[in-house]
Amino acid sequence: MIRSRQRNRWSSLVGILLALALVAAGCTSSDSTDTTAASTDETTATGTDTTAGSDATEPAETTEPAASGDEIGNPGVFVHAADDEPTTLDPAQVEPGEGGETMILQVYERLLEIPVSGPDPVPGLATEVPTLENGLISADSLTYTFPIREGVTFHDGSPLTADDVLFSWERVMDLELPGSAAEVLSDVVDSMRVVDDFTFEVTLQEPNAAFLNAVVPAMVSSIVSREAVEANGGVVPGEPNEFMQTNMIGTGPYQFVAWNRNENLQFEVYDDYWGTPANLDLRVEIGANPDIRVLGLRAGEYDTIETDPSFIGDIEGAEGVTIFSEGLTVEPIHIAFNMNAPLDQLPETDRIPEGFFDDPRVRQAFNYAFDYEAFVQGALGGFGDFNPHYIPIGIFGYDPAAPVYNQQDLAKAEELFRDAGVWDTGFSVSVVTEEANLFEVAALVLKDSIDQLNNPNFEVTVASVAEAVFDEAHASDPVPYAMWVKNADPFADPHAYVDAYTNPDGEWGEIHGFRDAYVDPDRIADLIDSAKVELDPTARAALYSELQQLLYADPMWIIAAQEGVVSARRDWVEGFVSNPLWPRPSLKFALMDKG
């Protein structure tokens, strides 16, 4: 009995000590901040020497004073909390707007780059931007010559030559992977050749005003190491390269270290970078719930977070946190009219007649009925604006004088519905959307807006579905819904927008049947085609201006809003710059520092 009691006491004591030790281990491991490790160099890095002269503008900020003695979190490494996990890290496979583009921007480089501010490209791996004046564009505007920068090395140590450029672009077009942006190159390029080790020449199928600012700086046009690819699976047309999907060997200021799925991606400074090197290593935390990202920012765990305007209220006033809110994303949130909706496949509750959306008055009526103010002030927290059909603000060709649907006008909507003969017959239509995001809110605002017409014959149903279910419907032809909500893909040139979203023979024009619904489809197609090859900026802008006028009267979308660029960061972050033309979250981390 005595032995038993002693053993019990010992076991109790050991248990208590173990518990105390565990707690002590936890408590004493709190973040021992080594502020000396962080760079104190206040010079803001501006990336490459060629972008140093770009006209960076002072961003609009709401800065709360940092706490005195505020300790810098995670010294030596820049931590960004992102929204999406990449599905691939391969430029030849990545889908525009997808999380992988964010990583590609940091590690790979292109011949020309979108600078810190503005849409006009600056030299990247090419040393000059081709122009007619410098002779690097041929007189017929078909052949472009790119002098390649010498002394550049990939992260595996191999030198960059024009052969790598040719290989990278050919690889994209040879692979032609499903879901990739291969057509950005294959629709434009006729032929390519290596002139010498440091001169690359490309000939286009036809003159293309978008080539330099939308094709060359696109993520799909990133330059990869021929040596690395060929040593790791090579190029098999139609087959993704597993190595390239999960690894990155570029020429940029960051080199890839690790991808811990569902957790983070790690990068380190590339010491042999040809330009201004990055200041800090980089870690991109992925997949955190938006609320947790906000908490992490407040805790100092994250330096920048990807957020949307609806979370700004949670951040405003937080100590040591700066909100950046300047400019607009170039991905307008739009609600589609599907003229080709198969009536026999629509949800059971739907009740629309054949050719319901063919009448432009019906589409106009929906545009007038939408409560734009509610969406921007509510869902977007005031961070948003309205662009005309269909060129986002900030993109070349946007005409400030173009008419825009930006005010709810229920009387006008009712008048148009009556004129179209719909007011008495009514309709019931479902709007499909991904659940639990801004798109769902836009659909709900549309439902509420139509309800405000007080017509018992009108009914809008919001069909909120899982992302995969939405993607399946969205990728179908015909789309089995009469209306859907999403955002546009981001582009740097107006042609990509008007071609995808308004051209009667474009991507969505064919799927949704724009040609049969437009009042004057040929004129719209002519304007789009003419602007594509018009190299004179003034003449090109005039063509887009006319197009925007036409599309206002014949809208194929409800553009709910152009979302504001909103991000939040710790106020110890230095050199913060953002360009909406960079893939979301529109940041180049190599330009930033913590001080």
What stretches of 351-493 show up as alpha helix (H) in DSSP? Answer: 360-369, 372-374, 410-419, 438-451, 467-474
Pairing of strands 458-465, 254-260: unpaired
Separation CA 143–CA 85 (nearest Å): 38
- Subset of 179-208 contacting other proteins (CB under 8 A): 179-181
What is the total count of residues that contact other proteins (CB under 8 A)?
58
Please identify, among the stretches 20-28, 409-417, 438-446, 584-592, the one whose residues bind other proteins according to the rule CB under 8 A. Answer: 20-28
Residues 468 to 507 in contact with other proteins, rule: CB under 8 A: 468-477
Looking at residues 160 to 179 of the shown chain, list those that interact with other proteins (rule: CB under 8 A).
178-179
- CB 217, min distance to other proteins, A: 19
* Stretch binding other proteins (CB under 8 A), from 337-345, 346-354, 421-429, 462-470: 462-470
The 40-79 site mask, x for binding other proteins (CB under 8 A), equals ----------------------------------------
For residues 218 and 212, is the Cβ–Cβ distance under 8 A? no
Nearer to other proteins, 416 or 479 (CB): 479
Please state the closest distance from residue 482 (CB atom) to other proteins, in A: 17
| Phi and psi torsions of 560, nearest 5° | -65, -40
- Calpha distance 530→539 (Å, rounded): 10
Among 3, 30, 36, 456, binds other proteins (CB under 8 A): 30
Residues 267-286 that bind other proteins (CB under 8 A): 283, 285
Strands 199-204, 254-260: pairing kind: unpaired
Neighbours of 195 (CB within 10 A): 13
- Binding track over 290-329 against other proteins, x by CB under 8 A: -xx--xx-xxxx----------------------------
CA distance 341 to 512: 7
358, with CB counted inside 10 A (0-12, 13-18, 19+), is middle
Q: What is the DSSP letter of 389?
A: T
Q: Which of 46, 50, 106, 245 binds other proteins (CB under 8 A)?
A: 245
- Looking at the Cβ atoms of 245 and 408, the one nearer to other proteins is 245
Q: Which is nearer to other proteins, 265 or 444 (CB)?
A: 265
For other proteins, the closer of residues 25 and 401 by Cβ is: 25
Separation between Cα atoms, residue 500 and residue 214, nearest integer Å: 14
Which of 510, 509, 504 minimizes the C-alpha distance to 527? 504
Concatenated DSSP letters of 541-554: HHHHHHHHHHHHHS
Interface positions with other proteins (CB under 8 A): 1, 8, 15, 22-23, 25-27, 29-31, 85-88, 95-96, 98, 178-181, 245-246, 258, 260-264, 266, 283, 285, 287-289, 291-292, 295-296, 298-301, 435-436, 466-477
